[in-house]
DNA sequence: CGACATTACTTCGCTGGCGAAGTATTCGTC
DNA sequence: GACGAATACTTCGCCAGCGAAGTAATGTCG
């Protein structure tokens, strides 16, 4: 008897209760598993950042600062867009990060409307620590797949992301 | 030249900037793509529920009520656990849903501490409408894969979810 | 050059959600 | 069967984030 995961049980339940609603098992399974994996990953980040004494949204902001083309520096607007938060929300985040000494806000020399956010030494340090913990947990997860499977999964996921990222026609 | 997605560019950027940090490209790619797909799916739900005039967390609560073994009825605690919100948060959500007439709170006959949440006719109706819109968009996404690829992806994802759901040893 | 639109942030009022404390009920056990 | 622990919610005070309005600087174009 093959092992079942939460999603298998979910789909079976659905099948028996909602026979009248149009519903593709395989689609629902893929979508549900992606959601559940993301929930798990969110949990790993949560424990990783808690360990170094930082909050998840603070880590996310530092992370976004570090993974860009100009590592460690960006405008509040860029960060807000990357992280999917509003401008107002980013102002609040930066207030907190600045008070904690993890970033610094400087006026832009070219454009006096602009602000340049820069990560500090201690900000980069705490980010690295959280990164390491988080990375280790992610590797543990993906380690259940062989190299071949990992590449296969990556390829299939990329087919989906390419579609989501493609500019959509406006009807 | 093969097409690149956001994740490819992210990994390449990482490679060039952070050569000193331990980092597995394939792991990062898988994890990042899952996150980005989830973000996309969250967006599709957002537009679907907006169309029927309901908020995402309201939809999620109704959904959780409907997909369980006893469709349409549950305790606040069950719902809170399923949805990953606190008890206090669930009280707030139910207050809103009840005021909108989509659920009803009744005292449990067996245990006077308990509350039985039940979906109303209009609650079930609005849930179905949102479901249909959401389902259509998800099918559109997964349709970029062939049947064979879809099954393959589902199988690989299941390998991961099984691991995440397995009871972990306490060290 | 000057008026109007646009851009880049910040402030403000409000809302969803959290953890802790509170209330009521039921369970366990001596 | 009485008393302390556990369970099931709700209330309370607080915080992150949102949209809208506000402020200041820069573009645009007649």
DSSP B145: S
Please give the ipTM for the structure prediction: 0.91
How many Å apart are CA B16 and CA B159, to the nearest integer? 32
* Concatenated DSSP letters of B103-120: EEEEE-SS-TT-EEEEE-
Cβ A17 to strand D below 7 Å: no
CB of B82 closer than 8 Å to CB of B88: no
The topology (CATH level 3) of B15-136 is Arc Repressor Mutant, subunit A (1.10.10)
Collapsing DSSP states into helix, strand and coil, what is residue B156?
A: helix
CB contact set of A85 (below 8 Å; sequence gap of 6+): A93
Instruction: Please report, for chain A, the start and end positions of each structural domain, with discontinuous segments joined by +.
Output: 23-160
Contact B27 A153 (CB under 8 A): no
Cβ A93 to strand D below 7 Å: yes
Chain A (129-158) residues lying within 8 Å, Cβ to Cβ, of chain B: 131-132, 135, 138-139, 141-142, 144-145, 147, 149-154, 156-158
Contact A26 B139 (CB under 8 A): no
CA angle in degrees (0–180, nearest 5) for A161-B83-B68? 100
Q: Convert the pLDDT of each residue in A64-101 to its tens digit.
A: 999 999 999 999 999 999 999 999 999 999 999 999 99
Cβ B42 to strand D below 7 Å: no
Chain B (65-94) residues lying within 8 Å, Cβ to Cβ, of chain A: 66-69, 71, 84
Is the pLDDT confidence value at B170 over 50?
no
Q: Which of A51, A73, A54 is nearest to A64 (CA)?
A: A73
Of B17, B29, B31, the CB nearest to A71: B17
CA of A30 to C1' of C9 (A): 41
Chain A (92-121) residues lying within 8 Å, Cβ to Cβ, of chain B: none
Count of CB atoms within 10 A of residue A110's CB?
Answer: 7
What would be the CATH architecture of the domain defined by A23-160?
Orthogonal Bundle (1.10)
Cα–Cα distances in angstroms (integers) from residue B165 to residues A39, A159, B56, B124, in the given order? 11, 26, 26, 30
Q: Which of B120, B138, B135 is nearest to B66 (CA)?
A: B120
Average pLDDT over residues B112-141: 95
How many Å apart are CA B79 and CA B61, to the nearest integer? 7
Identify any residues that bridge with A75 across adjacent strands, giving them in sequence order: none
Q: Convert the pLDDT of each residue in B40-79 to its tens digit.
A: 999 999 999 999 999 999 999 999 999 999 999 999 999 9
């Amino acid at each position: 008897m093959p092992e079942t995961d939460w999603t298998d049980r979910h789909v079976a339940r659905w099948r028996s209760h909602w026979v009248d609603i149009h519903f593709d098992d395989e689609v629902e399974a893929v979508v549900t598993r992606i959601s559940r994996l993301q929930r798990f990953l969110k949990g790993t980040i949560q424990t990783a950042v808690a360990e170094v004494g930082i909050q998840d949204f603070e880590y996310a902001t530092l992370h976004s600062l570090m993974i860009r083309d100009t590592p460690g520096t960006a405008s509040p607007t860029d960060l807000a867009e990357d992280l999917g938060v509003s401008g107002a929300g980013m102002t609040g985040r930066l207030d907190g990060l600045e008070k904690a000494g993890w970033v610094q806000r400087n006026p832009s020399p070219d454009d006096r409307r602009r602000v340049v956010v820069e990560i500090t030494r201690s900000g980069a340090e705490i980010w690295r620590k959280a990164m390491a913990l988080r990375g280790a947990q992610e590797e543990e997860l993906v380690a259940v797949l062989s190299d071949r499977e990992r590449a296969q999964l990556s390829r299939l996921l990329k087919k989906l992301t390419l579609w989501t990222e493609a500019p959509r026609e406006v009807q």
